[in-house]
Amino acid sequence: MSTVALMWEARAAGGRGNELLEWARSQVLAEEPVRREVFRAPQDRVLVITWWETAEGVAAELPELPEPAADLIARAVHRWRFESVEVGEG
């Protein structure tokens, strides 16, 4: 079993950062991840990271956040998948 993190990042259309943040927070996935965090950054960017336990690693079929409405974002959503290789104590 491995831990996979799915990262979803989008930049809101001008002045719509709070709206994109609320949209991302409201999305319900087909399955609940082990953990989910939502971040905001300058330039109205929103980042969502979900953690999953899976035997298939990064190739696993996992639910992902969809694309928001085109008028809510300034560019296409960026997505990355990472597999955990080490966990350190803080």
List pLDDT tens digits, range 48-57: 999 999 999 9
Q: What would the two tokens of residue 7 be?
A: 């990262």
The per-residue pLDDT for range 25-62, each reduced to its tens digit, is: 999 999 999 999 999 999 999 999 999 999 999 999 99
CATH number at residue 59: 3.30.70.100
Mean pLDDT score of the chain: 96
This prediction's pTM: 0.93
Which residue range(s) make up the domain with 70?
Answer: 2-83
List Cα–Cα distances, 86 to 2, 54, 89, in angstroms. Answer: 11, 16, 10
Cα separation, 82 vs 60, in Å, equals: 11
Residue 89 lies in a domain: no
Total domain count, the chain: 1
Residue 90 lies in a domain: no
Residue 27 lies in a domain: yes
